[in-house]
Amino acid sequence: MRPEILYQLFSPVNRLTGIGPRLAALIEKLAGPNVIDLVWHLPNGLVMREKVTQLSTDYIDRMIVVALHVEHHLPSRNRRAPYRIQCRVGVDPLTLTYFNGREQYLRQQLPENSERVVSGRLEEFNGAFQITHPDHVATPEDAGEIPLFEAVYPLTAGLTNATFLKASRQFLPLLPDLPEWQDTALLKREDWPGWKESLIRAHHPESEADLDRDASPRARLAYDELLANQLALELVRRQMKRKAGRVLKGDGRVESKIRAALPYKLTGAQQQALAEITADMAASHRMLRLLQGDVGSGKTVVALLAMAVAVEAGTQACIMAPTEILAQQHYKAIAPLAEQAGLSCQIITGRLKGRKRTEILEQLESGAVDIIVGTHALFQEDVVFHDLGLAIIDEQHRFGVHQRLALSAKGKNGKDGVDVLVMTATPIPRTLALTAYGDMDISLITEKPPGRKPVDTRAIDLSRLEGVAEGLARKLAAGERIYWVCPLVEESQLLDVAAAEERFEMLQHLYGDRVGLIHGRLKPEEKDETMRRFMTGEISILVATTVIEVGVDVPEATVMIIEHAERFGLAQLHQLRGRVGRGGLPGTCLLLYASPLGQTQKARLAILRESEDGFRIAEEDLRLRGAGELLGTRQSGLPEFRLADLQAHSRLLAMARDDARLILEKDPELKSRRGAALRILLYLFERDAAIRYLSG
């Protein structure tokens, strides 16, 4: 339950005067639905005005506030000519110029023979002083209302700065006096003001330096946000660890059989990761570990061996993938090896129905199944394990903290204790990993299996698309397979599909029925069927939207073509590229871009050409684009930050992590006075879910 003191902040923005349903909808898109979202929406610019009493060429191009006498109006004679108002400042003439000015309105604002105070940028035009579109016009009595410092807010089409100024004049005085949750010594050391003062100052910048991320009010607010994030993760972590884990220790009998059946040896990095995982499983606390490894680094076999250990220890294991195709692929990779080692392995997906499903569920509940592969379908209530010891979640960035918890609750008698291993192929920069997975221990696979050849990556202008398409004939003749990924259209899946269909038709024209099409609007069965035909080689060119993005393994695929590569995230491009060159044949990746490219876009494509190191690419991407865009936070389950900038505030993040640990060490239930204030902080940043892990 949200504390009452925060009710006003969490009411919808349209309760503010001047914000009706139309503006509220625009604000919701830009900032969020509630007043608190406006509170966090800080200015990113500033207009500074100088009060002047007479005009001088020294003031040209500066923002001034000046008292003037209005002489006469010169309405425009045709539509293109501006409306001019002749005024005088002392003895100097000054013209106010309006394009598309409405006469009636202007005569009312600036009547002839009246005194007014106006503000705007002073210009010189044909040797005379001029202000075009004054930004404020006031009577001498109201002149004090023209601010000398005016915050400029990030805007979107349809919203004006005035809306935000008017809103902030309303909500700032209403900010509640919240108890201080930060340590007094820290505030002193960093020279940070209190929460309310920080917000008031952040909304009233008076110099460029005040807009800096390191300006003390802004740094304080960023720290608040980071602390809320780290505190929430630490609470989850403690909750997970509090439940005693099981000691899952193998005797090597299954593991050795699987190793013997593998056509290759584990790499050093795989060995190392497996050793960390099995040591964690054997310990008496519960495992909550992230296994990070670039595409193709060989995570699946590490997962299988960990599951083998869980089975040796007398329990069951499951592995969950984000899509049907991936679950099937895991099953195909895992089941034969598992069965050779004498284990029973099954698969449960949303499509499994009827008798077959009932049968598998019974086997799962009786313990006849050792390893189960599945999708989200594993969360279903009637999926009951005999004794689940290890849960593995693949491609974590499609899932969130809540799913981690839900799956681990599938343990015996609904009690906890299940060891959890999360695998991700999306290299996550250290800073981000801390905010998203701060609750987990991390293992890295930093090396790829031997024999992988680098993928020849080239950026090519889109205008050469036809040539590229025709050039594929050679590859096809050599029996190679090709992915053709179509542009990502953020706003609409329909447009994605249209683009893919158009490309499909063009390629079909060239290569007939060797071309297949796969996109998000097809039925799962249709997708699988097309995927299957591509895997078996019945079709050789697969035109796709990004549904193939994650994890699909077709060793014969050698060419990856990505249209409008500039629209994709770097991490995503890297993932896509990782789909080719897996089978020993050298791979090619063609990044087709629409010119002209911006500086950042150019730099991003260059990184991709230079490097195949997913971690380096991710770090660079973070540097170039910022965290929010990196993985598409909304879909990724990664937290979004309103005030903190993970790049600029990495020092604060590390501080917040230590702080959170210390706080909960001393006050695990947040029961002290500071603890109570920290609970408010968690609500303020909508980390409410974590509060459930506090008893009382």
- List residues near ligand ADP by CB under 6 A: 264-267, 270, 293, 295-301, 425, 449, 553, 582
Q: Which residue is nearest to ligand ADP (CB)?
A: 298
Q: What is the DSSP string of 278-319?
A: HHHHHSSSPPEEEEEE-TTS-HHHHHHHHHHHHHHTT-EEEE
97 binds, among ligand ADP, Mg ion, none (CB under 5 to 8 A by kind): none
Q: Closest by alpha carbon to 437, among 453, 452, 424, 450?
A: 424
Q: Are the C-beta atoms of residues 627 and 432 closer than 8 Å to each other? A: yes
Nearer to ligand ADP, 261 or 606 (CB): 261
Alpha-carbon dihedral sign for residues 425, 431, 435, 437: positive
Rounded CA separation 606/608 (Å): 5
Q: How far is the CB of 605 from ligand ADP (least distance, A)?
A: 23
- Min separation Cβ 558 and Mg ion, Å: 19
**If 0-12 CB within 10 Å is exposed, 13-18 middle and 19+ buried, where does residue 257 land?**
middle
Is 265 in a helix, a strand, or coil?
coil
Please, what is the minimum distance in Å from the beta carbon of residue 42 to ligand ADP?
40
569 is in the binding site of which of ligand ADP, Mg ion, none (Cβ under 5 to 8 A by kind)? none
Structure tokens at 228: 């809320």
**CB closer to ligand ADP, 120 vs 551:** 551
- Which span (170-178, 217-225, 472-480, 549-557) binds Mg ion, by CB under 5 A? 549-557
Taking contact as CB under 5 A, which single stretch among the options 47-55, 220-228, 440-448, 545-553 is the one that binds Mg ion?
A: 545-553
Q: How far is the CB of 445 from ligand ADP (least distance, A)?
A: 7
The candidate with the shortest Cα–Cα distance to 488, out of 575, 597, 569, is: 569
Least distance CB 432 / Mg ion (angstroms): 20
- Cβ(55)–Cβ(94) under 8 Å? yes
SS3 state of residue 189 = helix
Least spacing, CB of residue 263 vs ligand ADP, in Å: 8
Q: Which is nearer to ligand ADP, 43 or 296 (by Cβ)?
A: 296
CB 401 → ligand ADP: shortest distance, Å?
A: 22
Could you tell me how far CA 613 lies from the centroid of its own chain?
21
Least Å distance, CB 299 to Mg ion, is 5
Which CB atom, from 516 or from 551, has the smaller least distance to Mg ion? 551
Q: Smallest gap, in angstroms, from Cβ of residue 554 to ligand ADP?
A: 10
What tokens were used for 669?
A: 């239930």
Q: Which is nearer to ligand ADP, 276 or 686 (CB)?
A: 276
54-78 burial by CB neighbour count: b if 16+ within 10 A, else e? ebeeebeeebbbbbbebeebeebee
- Output 201 or 299, the one with its CB closest to ligand ADP: 299
Closer to ligand ADP at the Cβ: 125 or 264?
264
By a kind-dependent CB cut-off of 5 to 8 A, residue 295 interacts, out of ligand ADP, Mg ion, none, with ligand ADP
Select 299 or 410, whichever has its Cβ closest to ligand ADP: 299
Contact of residue 7 among ligand ADP, Mg ion, none (CB under 5-8 Å per partner type): none
Q: Would you say 95 or 267 has its CB closer to ligand ADP?
A: 267
Kindly tell me the burial class for residue 319, based on how many C-beta atoms sit within 10 Å of its own C-beta (0-12, 13-18, 19 or more).
buried
Per-residue HEC secondary structure of 589-617 comes to EEEEECCCCCHHHHHHHHHHHHCCCHHHH
What single-letter amino acid sits at 139? T
* Rounded (10°) angle between helices 216-242 and 401-408: 10
Given candidates 551, 569, 581, 639, which one binds Mg ion under the rule CB under 5 A? 551
Which secondary structure element, helix H or strand E, spans residue 242, and what is its range? helix 216-242
- Nearest CA to 119 out of 26, 70, 195, 51 is that of 51
Q: Between 43 and 551, name the residue whose CB sits nearer to ligand ADP.
A: 551
How far apart are the C-alpha atoms of 83 and 179, rounded to whole Å?
54
The distance of closest approach from Cβ of residue 290 to Mg ion in the complex, given in angstroms and rounded to an integer, is 14
Least separation in angstroms between CB 329 and Mg ion: 8
Q: 198: buried, middle or exposed (CB in 10 Å: 19+, 13-18, 0-12)? A: buried
Min dist CB 352 to ligand ADP, Å, is 23
Of 133-141, 550-558, 585-593, 623-631, the window that binds Mg ion (rule: CB under 5 A) is 550-558
Q: Which is nearer to ligand ADP, 182 or 297 (CB)?
A: 297
Task: Identify what 270 binds: ligand ADP, Mg ion, none; CB under 5 to 8 Å per kind.
Answer: ligand ADP
297 binds, among ligand ADP, Mg ion, none (CB under 5 to 8 A by kind): ligand ADP
Nearer to ligand ADP, 150 or 395 (CB): 395
Residue 134 engages Mg ion in binding (rule: CB under 5 A): no
User: Residue of minimal CB distance from Mg ion?
Assistant: 551
For 523, what's the count of Cα atoms within 13 Å in the CB-facing half-sphere?
Answer: 4
Cα 12 off chain centre by: 24
Which listed option, Mg ion, ligand ADP, none, makes contact with residue 293 (CB within 5 to 8 Å by class)?
A: ligand ADP
Count of beta carbons in the 10 Å neighbourhood of residue 382 = 8
Residue type, 539: I
Residue count, binding to Mg ion (CB under 5 A): 1
Interface residue list for Mg ion (CB under 5 A): 551
